[in-house]
Amino acid sequence: MLQKLLYIFSIIIITAGANLQAQELNDSYLWLEEVDGVKALDWVKQHDAVTVEKLQKYPGFESLQNKSLEILNSKGRIAMPTLHGEHIYNFWMDAVNERGLWRRSILQSYLSGTPDWETIIDIDALARDEKEKWVYKGADFLYPENKKCLVFLSIGGGDATVVREFDLVKKEFIKNGFYLPEAKNNVSWMNENTLYLGTNFGEGSMTESGYPRITKLWKRGTKISEAVTLFEGEVKDVSVSAYAVNTPERQYQFVDRGLDFFSSLRYTVIDGKLKPFEIQKDAEFNGIFKNQILIQLKSDWNIDGKNFLQGSLLGIDYDKFLAGDRNFAVIIRPEPRASIGTISTTKNYLLVKMLNNVSAELYRYTFENSNWNKQKVDAPAFGDIAVVAADDFSDKYFYTYRSFLSPTTLYFADDMGAMQKLKSLPGFFETGNLKVEQHEAVSKDGTKIPYFLVSSKDLKLTGDQPTLILAYGGFEVSYQPFYSGTIGANWLEKGGVFVLANLRGGGEFGPQWHLSAIKQNRQKVNDDLIAVSEDVISRKITSPKHLGIQGGSNGGLLVGSVYLQRPDLYNAILCQVPLLDMKRYNKLLAGASWVGEYGNPDVAEEWEYISKYSPYQNIKKDQKYPPVFLITSTRDDRVHPGHARKMGAKLEEMGHPFFYYENTEGGHGAGVTNKQIAFETALTYSYLWMQLGNK
């Protein structure tokens, strides 16, 4: 859901008043925001070296690294499909192909279980030949024949990409084809000879958030400077984009003007002219199926005397809607403790994943004679279900099922709806002696917060079990049961307890679960994590000496805040690619686009509540803290590495212990190659066992 952002300003100080200006000028670590600054990189190298040396001395480091790499490179992994015409496409990394192969096979060959793979692009070879650290970031296929595509390549794993047109018949980049240099490009096909184009056209063409502010139509054979402007947004907007929605019946064209992360103004394009697409600004437009526009409500909508409830999925005929009809059909009504997960389509099916008390169910809807008909898909229960590929010209689709103890399994549904189990992951760890429970903690305001607990069946309630809580709590992202070979082999199998917390701010129970914990209510997310932590302690599962918390990105902000507020509760804090300086987050990379979630620190009233939990501003010199492990990436162009760098420098200044590791590749993630990921994984589990494992 997080969009690609361009880093525009590195150390520009924008103020909303004398107090804020003085505080920023007193920040002695602004130089660490210079991503490739010599002094900053020297600091990184020194602290990386200290951390690596300490953690590599952990007796189990080598086995953790080897086991993680074995899992990541396992030949038993599932080659996850995308379906384009008669071909299955897959991106595959292993010990030989460290940067990966983009490959394909015929559908029937794939269904046989032993696909005859045809290499499309060897990313390792491309990187060697062009002497560039290429990372594959996906492809956009030309609909409907899929004979050409736009290939997105990142340098070092960041969100910024180079875009190159590719011939899927000849399997080669097209000479003099469409090409865009590295930028936060927003580009897609209108037709074979025209692209919707958003890129860095020069000064003033990007928003403060780093997205394209202008979208254009770019004709084949013309220069980028000759592209015709379709729409311009404002600098304060998050982004502007244009795109086509292709269905077997027809093509629809749209322009989105992103006002903030959760609100947009939309237009439909008819004969080259924009017409307002009058749905709620915060509603989610879920595409078009059988000429029915699909709208998911994030707040109640009262229109033409009818009230449609928050969390509903509505449908209405596209042409009638443009003509003024507002007689929506309610496809899904919200229920307590339930929410819509994802929506996919085939030729005749609308596939909807629902979450019921954080357990996934899959439903198949048809639209016939102006009526919506619902049927539950016979899929496994009490886990997570995900539609991973679907076909617009047939009713074929693939979905996966997984749970904490059930390896991910891929299923195929044919045109008649018959299900075929294709492949399961091998069992990467022993599960016979493990169990899964779901509990509830009571937060500070009385709200019940569910969490999953995975442990040994003979768990002894002695209060000394090494326990790790994973949490996120933001952006309406739902945390659901999942199978992880690395968590299983490196933590559960060795006696650790794993907890997955479903905090407010997420989307587990619909839009209100998210909206109840944003901006001035952000502290509720912290309170929820504290409540879960106290609950596992009160159950005598663990104690502060053996309890750790883990979060990445927004989750990094969460654990960074909570460990400062309640250092007495934890002995390990795994803080990955985090936001930590909430005074300057809106000036760094993607930050300005997240004001809708956190508030604007440049507004005095909003900084008042942000300042109370912002980690960088709340470190106390005379307080004792457990050693936090800060992890980031130099090439993360979404959440600025300066957050983690500055936090580490300030902790060091005040004499507090911490671990620090910054990978030079990887973007907003653990790494580019499996070797990099396995190394970082070994560092993290060595840290966790060192901090939590001593009884």
At residue 129, the 3 state secondary structure works out as helix
3-state DSSP call for residue 3?
Answer: coil
Whether the CA torsion 651, 652, 655, 658 is positive or negative: it is positive
DSSP track, 563-584: HHH-GGG-SEEEEES----TTT
Nearest to 527 by CA among 467, 458, 442: 442
Q: Which of 495, 391, 555, 543 is nearest to 60 (CA)?
A: 495
User: What one-letter code names the amino acid at 125?
Assistant: A
Note if 668 is an active site residue: yes
**Separation between Cα atoms, residue 8 and residue 429, nearest integer Å:** 45
DSSP, collapsed to helix, strand or coil, labels residue 189 as strand
The tokens for 362 are 């899959």
Query: What are the DSSP calls for 569-631, one per residue?
Result: G-SEEEEES----TTTGGGSGGGGGGHHHH--TTSHHHHHHHTTT-GGG---TTS----EEEE
> Residue 656 catalytic?
no
Give the integer Cα–Cα distance in Å for 54 and 41: 20
Catalytic hit among 154, 312, 484, 553: 553
SS3 label, residue 531:
helix
Query: For residue 464, what are the contacts with CB-CB under 8 A and spacing of at least 6?
Result: 542, 543, 545, 546, 695
Question: Could you give the CA distance from residue 378 to residue 391 in angstroms, rounded to a whole number?
Answer: 20
Block residue for tokens 């729409």: 231
E strand intervals along 161-213: 161-167, 172-173, 179-183, 186-191, 194-198
Q: What is the DSSP-derived secondary structure letter of residue 42?
A: H
User: Residue 478: helix, strand or coil by DSSP?
Assistant: coil
Which of 87, 643, 656, 668 does the annotation list as catalytic? 668
- What kind and span of H or E run contains 315? strand 313-317
Could you list the active site residues?
Answer: 553, 668
